[in-house]
Structures are given as C-alpha cells and as structure tokens.
Structure 1
Amino acid sequence: MGEVDASGSDGTNSTTLFESEQDDIGWPIPRLFLEFGPKYKILVLGALLTSVLGPFVNLIPPYILQTAIDAVLLGDEPFSLPGVSPDRLPEDQLQQLYLVSAIIIAASVAGAVLSWAGGWTWGLFSQEVQHSIRTETYEKVQTLGMGFFDSEETGQIMSVLNNDVNRLNQFLKDFLRDSLHITTTLLGITILLFMLHWEFALITFVFFPIMTLLTRYFVKRIRPKHEAVRKQVGSLNACIENNISGIRVIKSYTSESNEADRIRDSSERLYDKRWNVITTRIKFFPAVSAVNWIGFGAIIIIGGIWIINGPPLFFSEPLTVGTLVAFLVYNERLMEPILVGGKLVDRYFKSRASVVRIFALQDYETEITETDDSVDIEPMTGDVQFVDVTFSYDEKPVLKNVDLEINPGEFVGIVGSTGSGKTTLTKLLLRFYEPDSGMILIDGYELDRVSLESLRRSIGVVHQDPYLFSGTVRDNISYGSPEVTEAEIVQAAKRANAHDFISDLPDGYDTAVGQRGVKLSGGQRQRISIARAIIGDPDILVLDEATSHVDNRTESLIQNSLSDIVADRTTFAIAHRLSTVRHADTILVLDDGRIVERGTHDELLRQDEFYSDLWEMHIGEGNQTSIERAGYTKP
C-alpha cells in the first residue's frame, strides 16, 4: 500500500468528485426550499408565522417600558398606549403600573410560546427534509452505472450521504427562522425607534454602515474557506475508507506507519483549512461587538447631554429618560440579530457547500436508463447475441468488435489472459455498462429495451470476489429472493455444497457473517455466494471464477452439484482453471479484447493455437487427476 492511495498522496484529486455537476448548481439554497418546502407547506406556514410573530411580540416590552418610566413612574408625560383610547385607560397611577406590567409579562410569555412553537415546527421540518434528501439521494446513487463507482471514491460518496446531509440539520432548523427573526427584529426596532423619537433614531443608526461593511467583508472571506473545508473532509473520508477497506494489505506489507502518516497529513490539511475558517470568524464577532458597545456608550453620552442640556445642534425634540432607556434596550437587542446574522452567513456558506454536493450527486446523469416502452421478459429462454460490440474503460479499448450468438441452454466457457475482457463481457450482459458501439440482444430484444429489474432478476451471478452483507448466513443466501422458504434456502445451500459447513457453524444458518463476510473463509463465502445466485432459479447463470477460492476437493464437489443446474439454462463460466470449462458446449478464447478462438475443448486443442498453449500451461501447473474429475458436465 506504500505508494498506492485512491485519493492521491496529497488528497487533492478528491476535489474532482462530480465537480462539473457542482459547477452547474445555481442558487442551491433557494432550490432546497423550493423543492422540499411545498411538500411540507403546513409545517412551513406555521413555522413562518411563528418566526415573524415571535420577534415582533418580543419588541413590545421595551416600548411599554418607556411609557412605564415617563408616564407612570416620573409623571413627565400623559399615560397612553398605542391603539387604545385614553378614556379606556386607568387614571390611578398604581392601576397604570399594574396594566403596563401585565402587558410586559403577557408579551414575554407570548414571545416564549411562539419561540417554542417556531423551534418545534422548524425542527420537525428539518428532520422531514433530511430524511427525504438522504433517502432520495441514496436511491439516486443506486441508479447510477458502475462507471460512476469506478471513477468516484466511496468515502466521498459516504461523505455526501452522511456528513453533508447531517450538516443540513442545524441549517434547516435555524436558517429561515433566524433569518426571519433578524429581519423582523431589525425592521421592528427601526420602526419603533422612529416612532419613539425620530431625531434621536438618526444618531443611533450612524453605526449601522460600519456593521454592514464588517458583515460584507466577513461574507466575502468566509465563503471560499468553507468550500475548501468541505472538499478536504471528503478527501479525508475517502482516505480513511480506503485504508480501512485495505487493512489486511496494509498489515501484510507493514505499512501502518506510512498510512498513519498519510492520514495525519490529510487531517493536518483539514486542520489548517478549518483553523482558517475559525480565525476569520473570531475576528468578525469581537469586531462587531466592539462597534456595538461603542455605539451603546455614544447613545448614553449623547442621550444624557440631550436630556440635561436640551436638543443639540439643529435638533428640536426633547428627550425623556424613558425614551433613552428604551433606546438603550433596543440597541442591546440590535446586537443579537447582528451577531446572529454573522453566524447565519457563516452557517449559510458552510451549508451551501454541502447542498451543492448533494444536488450535484442528485443531478448526476444516469448512464443506464430504461426506455418508456421497456419490456419484462420472464421467463427468458436465454438466447444471447453480441453484434459487433466494442467497449472502452476511460477511452482504453477493452472489447473490440465482439460477435457471438449463444443458444438457449448453452454452456459457454470464457477463458483468456488477465485483462482480456472476460468479466467485462458479462458486465455488459447485466447492463452494468453500455457498449460504445454495437448491440446486445437477449431473446431477440435489444438489451436497452429490457427492463433492468426483469433483466437482472433473470440472471444469477457469482462474482469472482464474493461479497457478503453484514447479517446472517440465511440473510445472505435469501438476498434478492426474500420470499423463499427455509427449505429452499437449505436446498440452495446443499446444491452449492455449503450446507455441511453451515450446519457446523455456532448458530447454523443464523450465524452472523460479519462485515463483508470476514468471519468466513474465502471458500465458504464463495459457496454462500453460489447458493445466493441459484436460489432464485435464474434463467441465465454467470459464474465469474466461481470456484477460485476453494480447494480442489471442494471444487469437485461444487462442480458435481452444479451439473444439474447448468443443464437447462444458459450459463457463462469465466474460468482461470480451464478444467472448470472443459466440458462446455462452447469455449470463447479472448485476447486483447477480441474473441480469437471459439469451439469445444477438443476442437480448440486440435487447432493448436492460443487455447492449446493455455491448456498446456494449465496441465503443467495442476494435477492431472484433479483435472479429469473437475469441470461442469452436462447430461
């Protein structure tokens, strides 16, 4: 593993994760709310209402406080309340005090209730949207062709599905609520200050341009830094996932120290990028706080002089103590939306980078699609044709002008050197990829006209590297055929020569296999994979080095048990051990992406060309007795 790393030694190429799609995402945040808001319009309506009313109600107490000081306590002004006729107000000073106190208390309680209701509705909205985004994005990932997974790192995809989606929790829960809170508070305070004393309000708002410039500077600086953090998080996740998956290789080559250094380097890059964000943030908030407190002090000084000496300069309206107190309270209230506004900007760009990555993944073009008139072919007869098929990986030709015709029930062996295109041939049959040119037909239908579900449910596959899901033996055998009975599970295991070793496991068919089946040997995983492939009684069977992880004795047992299975269905058997396809109806010999020979075993030996050389090498490597007893046999 020393110099091999999918994410690159410097982690920089992780930035190419569907980067072109990310560049095409315009207005990601509005799109987020426009796409998911209408699905939960009752929740959103309630949340919007509480988010507007709550801040407005909370602005009432300071305004009433001015009346309580000037009219009730000091008696400098007549007692009045906005919107209430004077003849309906009490004349007794104590009754007036009770009334304004009751209004202040009621407004505070109402504000608290509205704040709770807003938090509840926005929180529920956040969870609903996160759930929808996570499931929809995962469903989209499942529709993508294998070419996507060949080119993109698993850790990066996991980062989108987990980190990016989870990051939306705080954003969805607080962003619109805080945005409305800030807007309502600033607008409400502005209106109330001008209602209280428009001349003094002009002086109060002198400091606003300074705060606006500070916020603008902060926004400009913080956005690219958050995007850099998100990219580095994906890079680090990809590196960790890559190493965890390859831990056996790392240990085998004693590369623990090298890989630890690689993770440390990637983590340090993330450290630097996050620290860059933090240093920008910690400069902004103290600066805003300092400007606010300077303004607070200026209001006290100017207001005090105004009260003591009368209106200064060209101002004409007198200022009361209650009005000055209300201005000071509102000035303090202004500090919260300004600071929250800065944090909101910080959170916006932090979340924006995540939303862009989510939508980029959702918008990724699906290579493998179905036509509107796609057909279901069940059951299939197993007639397969490749007509002048050419296919390339990353513009490197893998299959070149392949022509073949397989009759229903025919057993086809596929052999050739490593990289000759053997496995690619069957991947095209499963529509994991689309050919560059030519066409593939199954039962007379072009492959892209057959529904994917019908196609893949009709083909049983045993992959060269068997993958088992975390769960029990029973879960893995019945995977893809959840409706099967216990008797069918056992029968499939017996046909794959797996029943005996399964019965010896601690919990039999209920034994947990571990992640990727790590608790089982390679041969055991292979046999469970075979049982999984045949339990659904597929019309076509693909065996990609199906016995590559078993010994000769187990191979012979599996071959004998499979002989009845391949007898009545089209079977493709990719083989490294030529003995496994010796009795095939047709053997295809591939070399450099072309079918260079085809025929039966005996016919190919008589031709004395490429296959004959392979057979001679096989005999030299293997045991002749093993060869004679191995191989799929057809009755």
Structure 2
Amino acid sequence: MADPRTTKPLARLLRYARPHRRAIRAATLYSVLNKVFDLAPPVLIGAAVDIVVSREDSFIALLGYAEVGAQLWILAGLTLAAWAIESLFQYAYALKWRRLAQTIEHELRMDLYRHVQGLELAYFEDRSTGGLMAVLNDDVNQLERFLDDGANTAIQLVTTIVVVGGLFLAVVPSVAWMTMLPMPVVIAGSVWIQRRLEPRYAEVRERVGQLNGHLVNNLGGIATIKSFTAEDYEVGQIELRSRAYEAANRSAIRLSSAFVPGIRMVIVIGFAAILVYGGKLALAGELNLGVYSVLVFMTQRLLWPLTGLGTLLDQYQRAMASTTRALDLLDTEAKIVSGEVALAVEDVRGEVSFEDVEFHYGRTSEDAAPVPILRGLSVRIEAGQTVAFVGATGAGKSTLIKLLLRFYDVVAGRVCLDGVDVRELELPSLRRAVGLVSQDVFLFHGTVRDNIAYGSFDASLDEIVEAAKAAEAHEFIMALPEGYDTVVGERGQKLSGGQRQRVSIARAVLGDPPVLILDEATSSVDNETEAAIQRSLERITKGRTTIVIAHRLSTVRSADRTFVLERGRIVEQGTHVELVATGGLYAALWRVQTGEAA
C-alpha cells in the first residue's frame, strides 16, 4: 500500500472529508448558482443600453413587449429577481460552507486528539507539547479558515471563467479569444507560484510549532525561570524563535505579494484589447452597442477576479501546509497496540510476573547502540503480596512499572498479569487493574473532588470522601476554603507537595485496583507527611498486590519481599532483615541512610 504521506495534500483532505460529500456538493452548487446570478447585472445593463438605443427593436421587444416603458418594467423585475436569487444563494453557500468548515474542523481536531491519546509514551517523550498544540489547534484552525472562504472563492472563480467564456464563445466568438488570451499566463504563473510557496509555508508551520513549543515549555517552568532570574534570557530565546517565524513568513509573503501586480498587468492588457477591438466593431456597426456593453462589463467580471488568485493561493498553500502536518500526525501508527483479551477488574487476582525480560530505549543517534536497561530479569509476585524494588538511580526500577502498564513493550521476554501476557490484554482492562501513585503527581485544573474522581467519574461524594479518608487527605481538604470544591489550580499548584501526593493516593484508592504501584510516593515530602502517607498505605495495601519503588529504604521495611536492582539485574532479594544480615548492596545502602556509614 502506498504511503499516504506521498499523496497530494488536497487529495488527502478530500479523502478525509469523504463522509461529507453531500454537504460539499450542496455547498458547491450554491456557490455556482450564486455566481451565475451574480453575473446577471452586466447582462441586464447591456439589455438596458439595448432598450435605450434600439427601442422597439431591442432584444426584449423580440419577446413580444414592443412598448419601451413595459420593457423597462420587465428589466426592473428581472433585476430584482436576479438580485434576490443571488442573495438567497449567497446566504445558502455562506451557511453551508461555514457549517461544513466548523464540522470538519471539529471532527479533525477530535480525530487527532483521539489518535494522539492512543500513541505510546515514547512518542510524547520525543516531541514538544507546544509542537503538538500547534498541530491540534493552529493547523486545524488554518484549514477551517480556508474551507470557510477559500473553497467558495475557488469555485466561483472557475464558474466565472466557464460561464463568461462560454457566453463570449456563443455570442461573439470573434472577440472571445482576446478574453481568453491572459488565461494561460495566469494559470502558468499560478502553478509556478504554488510550487514555490509550498515549501515556504511548510517552513512557516514548522517555525510556529517550534515557537509554540518554547512558549509552552516556558510557561510550565515559570517558577524555575523566576528563581534563576532568567527572564531576560528567555525573552531572548523567544525572540530568536519569533524572528525565525517572522523570516519564514516574510519569505512566503514576498513571493505571494509579487503575484498580484504581475497578474494585474497581464489582465489589463487583455482588457484594453477588448475595449479597443470591440469598440471598433461597435463603431463599424458590426457589434450591437448593448452586446458591446455586456462584453466590456463581462470582461471585467472575468479577468478582474483573477487578481484575487494571489490571496487564494496564499490561503490554499497555508491550508495545505497545515493539512499535511495534521494528516501526517493522524497517519502516525501507534507502536503499542491494544490486545484483545478483556479482563473484568473484579476478576483480577493480582499475580504479576516478569519473565526473562530485556529492554532498552531507542538509540540516541544513528551510530549509537541501544543502552540496555533490563537484562534477563525474572521476578514473580504473588497475588496480595507487597514487594519493593530498590537500587541506584538508573537501575531500571521505574522501567518495570512502564512495562507493566505497557507504556513500553519488552524487547525480549514477557510481562504477565494473572499469567496472561500484558500484550494480549485490552489496554483499558490492563490499566484499570493497575493503580499508579507516582512521585510526579499531576493534578488537573479543577476541584479537589474532580481530581480524586478522575478515572472514576461516576463516583459519589460519599465514595470520594471515603477514599480521601483512607489516604489521610480528608482533614486537610476540609480545611481548604471550599472543601472538596476548592479549585487546585493548574497542576495542583495551590496545594503543597504532600497534599498533592495524598490526593493522588485517594484517586488511586477510589479506583480500587487489584494491583497498586507506589513509585517513590514519599520521596518529596517532609517526615510528618511521610508518616501520614505511610499510615494510609498500610491500610490501602491490604488485600491487593502492591509494588513499591523506593529510594528511602525505611519505607519498604515491611515489604514481604524486596528486590535489589543493579544495572538492570536482580542482584539481591529477601526481607529487610535478611538483606541487612547478608551484608550486600542493600545493607550498604541501609547503613548510609541510617548514618552508620558515609
């Protein structure tokens, strides 16, 4: 199958918009009919001139209305009818195109967001949030602007050429060729400009993505910027990216702006030729004066809209550059694909096993070999057991969690839940069965209640309160200005680190997962908060499989079994007492943390 990315952007867009074929046809028909009736006034002006000059011999007189006054009233009626019908179709096409633009914009944005949500974690780690935001928002909006106005303009331009050109060929074929003379030049110039604008606008969209990425990054790290008094530096960084965006735009604008003046000169030559040659025919009596009037007006109607091709091409190329980025994102294939085995949470026992697991992240460059993180690791965790993984930073502890949740897939071996390879499980089933409390707590901008109920959206207030009590969060929540309805701010910035951690624990408890993961859950809290969290963890870990990742060995003393990792391998395992007595790596870490050794 051909790569869709090699297909022209317009063809890809039309393929995406295929479900809206009927609406597109209707909108196109309204645009065509509007332009047909919009071209009526020049004909009616010519008829008026014909009445005044020819009187009883005018064209309308041939229809059986010899009296000049009656002819004028008929002409007035036709004028009113043409304007009314033209206005009706203008309303119809504007309504249809705008609705269509809004619908496609909404569907594309939702399809993109839905697709992005299904991509693996590695995809997001390799890309900036701002760059994705530029595609999901700016690029989709750019496409909407083109559909809202540009599509109608293009259709009406083609309609004008066909209708007026056909009229000239039918009525005055001897002059029609003059009208058509500028067309090849205009079309050739349009194609030439389009080919050169395409890479320029692709560069514009790339630059705006980089600018957005840096802006989002800076706003997220504003506290760090302020603490290091780096405001001026970051202003300089944004200025560099904004200047690059400006330069890319300037390059495209310089080319697109040159198009209109050139086309105008080509058009005016054709228009002047019609004025002179047609005028001579009229003076010689070979061309009716009314027809000559229509010819002049229609020539203006035919050729002058071509000067808008520059703006139209500008809109089109911007839209196609945005379409390419949006549809490329939509065509990005997920590397982590859901399995087909469904698991009901209440049926999960919670037995977890890592069987001869090997894993490495992607290469840092084309020449670099992947760095192994886990090497032949095998661990079996019984249902209802509490186990801990400890070791130095980079030993592979958190990677185990990512493999269990299928944020990544193993390179070799397998990870199982209740004896089933996690790659065979439906992703929603797997992740509902495993609750995660991370050291990097993320709270959404909303109320405390909303954040605890996140993932358990139909939970009642009583259930939320019970979960908060289990996490020892209820007391501090009730002390907040509006209790459970207090807004926590973006990323929970209105709460302390310990408060955010307890809200996170309550959120995990509310889902009642059979497997609970605590990834450095107490690493960034004070001793008092740690003690409170430890008390709550002792309660909530009962009756479920619990996996604890920790640096502080004091937090895992009560674990049923502790595994010590070093360079991706299990080097020691046992209870706290057994490991201290062994005198190995764990014992050395314990002595350092208790102050017995440097």
- Whether these two folds match at TM > 0.5 is yes
The offset of 1:210, in angstroms, is: 2.8
Aligned partner (choices 13, 16, 27) of residue 35 of structure 1: 16
SS in 1 for 2:542: helix
Contact 2:517 2:548 in 1 (8 A): yes
Aligned partner (choices 456, 470, 476) of residue 451 of structure 2: 476
Which residue matches 2:214? 239
What is the aligned length? 589
The offset of 1:228, in angstroms, is: 0.7
Q: Partners in 1 of 2:315 and 2:508 — Cα distance?
A: 48
Q: Partners in 1 of 2:406 and 2:155 — Cα distance?
A: 50
Q: Partners in 2 of 1:534 and 1:25 — Cα distance?
A: 48
The offset of 1:149, in angstroms, is: 0.8
Alignment deviations for residues 11-49 of structure 1 (CA, whole Å, 9 cap, x no partner): xxxxxxxxxx998251332232333242x3443232122
Structure 1 residues 213 and 24, CA gap change in structure 2 (3 angstroms)? closer
Q: Are 2:308 and 1:340 aligned?
A: yes
SS in 2 for 1:158: helix
The offset of 1:287, in angstroms, is: 2.0
SS in 2 for 1:161: helix
Which residue matches 1:9? none
Which residue matches 1:319? 287
SS in 2 for 1:567: coil
Most deviating of 360-369 and 184-193: 360-369
Q: Partners in 1 of 2:591 and 2:56 — Cα distance?
A: 113
Q: Are 2:28 and 1:48 aligned?
A: yes
Q: Are 2:363 and 1:388 aligned?
A: no
Structure 1 residues 149 and 488, CA gap change in structure 2 (3 angstroms)? same
Which residue matches 1:67? 47
Most deviating of 259-268 and 208-217: 208-217
- Correspondences of 1:196-207 after superposition (within 5 Å): 196-207=171-182
Q: Partners in 1 of 2:594 and 2:278 — Cα distance?
A: 103
Most deviating of 125-134 and 46-55: 46-55
Q: Are 2:484 and 1:524 aligned?
A: no
Q: Partners in 1 of 2:342 and 2:331 — Cα distance?
A: 23
SS in 2 for 1:513: coil
Alignment deviations for residues 207-251 of structure 1 (CA, whole Å, 9 cap, x no partner): 333323332332222111111100000011111111111122222
SS in 2 for 1:356: helix
Q: Partners in 1 of 2:404 and 2:82 — Cα distance?
A: 70
Which residue matches 2:549? 574
Contact 2:340 2:425 in 1 (8 A): no
Contact 2:345 2:432 in 1 (8 A): no
Q: Partners in 2 of 1:360 and 1:69 — Cα distance?
A: 57
Alignment deviations for residues 70-109 of structure 1 (CA, whole Å, 9 cap, x no partner): 3x1111894336xxx94x4211122122222322332122
Alignment deviations for residues 412-451 of structure 1 (CA, whole Å, 9 cap, x no partner): 1111111111111011111111111111111111111221
Which residue matches 1:290? 265
SS in 1 for 2:346: coil
The offset of 1:375, in angstroms, is: 4.6
Most deviating of 445-454 and 409-418: 445-454
Structure 1 residues 63 and 172, CA gap change in structure 2 (3 angstroms)? same
Contact 2:358 2:413 in 1 (8 A): yes
Q: Are 2:496 and 1:501 aligned?
A: no
- Correspondences of 1:505-516 after superposition (within 5 Å): 505-516=480-491
Q: Are 2:133 and 1:133 aligned?
A: no
Which residue matches 2:59? 80
State the AA in 2 paired with 1:384: V
State the AA in 1 paired with 2:320: R
The offset of 1:533, in angstroms, is: 0.9
SS in 1 for 2:166: helix
Contact 1:413 1:573 in 2 (8 A): yes
The offset of 1:482, in angstroms, is: 1.7
Q: Partners in 1 of 2:427 and 2:340 — Cα distance?
A: 12
Q: Partners in 2 of 1:596 and 1:250 — Cα distance?
A: 41
Q: Partners in 2 of 1:336 and 1:178 — Cα distance?
A: 13
Most deviating of 517-526 and 299-308: 299-308
Aligned partner (choices 378, 384, 402) of residue 427 of structure 1: 402
Structure 1 residues 531 and 621, CA gap change in structure 2 (3 angstroms)? farther
Identity value in percent: 40
Which residue matches 1:148? 123
Which residue matches 1:24? 5
Most deviating of 470-479 and 554-563: 554-563
State the AA in 2 paired with 1:584: A
Aligned partner (choices 226, 234, 249) of residue 251 of structure 1: 226
Q: Are 2:243 and 1:263 aligned?
A: no
Which residue matches 2:381? 406
Q: TM-score, normalised by structure 2?
A: 0.94
SS in 1 for 2:338: coil
Q: Partners in 2 of 1:36 and 1:24 — Cα distance?
A: 16
Q: Are 2:249 and 1:274 aligned?
A: yes
Aligned partner (choices 136, 140, 149) of residue 165 of structure 1: 140
Most deviating of 295-304 and 245-254: 295-304
Flag structure 2 segments of 5+ consecutive residues without an equivalent: 363-369
Contact 2:519 2:549 in 1 (8 A): yes
Q: Are 2:156 and 1:181 aligned?
A: yes
Q: Partners in 2 of 1:344 and 1:258 — Cα distance?
A: 40
Q: Partners in 2 of 1:212 and 1:478 — Cα distance?
A: 60
- Correspondences of 1:525-564 after superposition (within 5 Å): 525-564=500-539
Alignment deviations for residues 511-541 of structure 1 (CA, whole Å, 9 cap, x no partner): 1100000111111111111111111221011
Contact 2:340 2:426 in 1 (8 A): no
Aligned partner (choices 338, 341, 355) of residue 370 of structure 1: 338
Most deviating of 501-510 and 300-309: 300-309
Flag structure 1 segments of 5+ consecutive residues without an equivalent: 1-20, 311-317, 623-635
Contact 2:342 2:429 in 1 (8 A): no
Q: Partners in 2 of 1:25 and 1:281 — Cα distance?
A: 25
Which residue matches 2:366? none
Q: Partners in 2 of 1:530 and 1:126 — Cα distance?
A: 44
State the AA in 2 paired with 1:24: R
Q: Partners in 2 of 1:588 and 1:354 — Cα distance?
A: 50
The offset of 1:399, in angstroms, is: 1.4
Q: What RMSD over aligned residues (CA atoms) do the two structures have, in Å?
A: 2.0
Which residue matches 2:326? 358
Which residue matches 1:397? 372
Contact 1:375 1:449 in 2 (8 A): no
Structure 1 residues 192 and 280, CA gap change in structure 2 (3 angstroms)? same
Alignment deviations for residues 133-186 of structure 1 (CA, whole Å, 9 cap, x no partner): 111111111111101111111111111111011112121223332222111110
Q: Partners in 2 of 1:367 and 1:230 — Cα distance?
A: 26
Most deviating of 573-582 and 41-50: 41-50
Aligned partner (choices 203, 208, 211) of residue 186 of structure 2: 211
Alignment deviations for residues 314-345 of structure 1 (CA, whole Å, 9 cap, x no partner): xxxx1232222212211211244313333222
